[in-house]
Amino acid sequence: MFAGNDQMAMGVLAAFAEEGVAVPGDVSLVGFDDITGSEYLVPSLTTVRQDCVTLGRTSIEVLVGMIGGARPRHHLIPPTLIVRRSSAAPPR
């Protein structure tokens, strides 16, 4: 299961625990943001880390350029998958 952010993933992790669903035994769980503390959950949360500093800087540069008359350009800012204990390979 992929949650929209790490806080949502924490809620899912708690709900799974209440229902006896094993993470990652029954289902893998991945969040997004890599918020502080996600590595200390039980199990530690696999998450996607976005470089927010580069994202913000690039957004401002594009905006300032557009205000000056430049055409917007596409920028790829690759995220990083942080693999921790809430995800596992599917059983064979």
Tokens of 90: 């599917």
- β-bridge partners, 33: none
Residues 6 or more apart whose Cβ sits within 8 Å of residue 67: none
pLDDT at 42: 95
pLDDT at 92: 81
Q: What Å distances lie between residue 57 and 34, 53, 60, CA to CA?
A: 19, 6, 5
pLDDT at 91: 78
For residue 66, the surrounding DSSP H or E stretch is helix 52-67
Q: Where are the domains of the chain?
A: 6-82
Looking at residues 25-39, what average pLDDT do you find? 96
Does 90 have pLDDT greater than 90? no
Mean residue pLDDT across the chain: 96
pLDDT at 47: 98
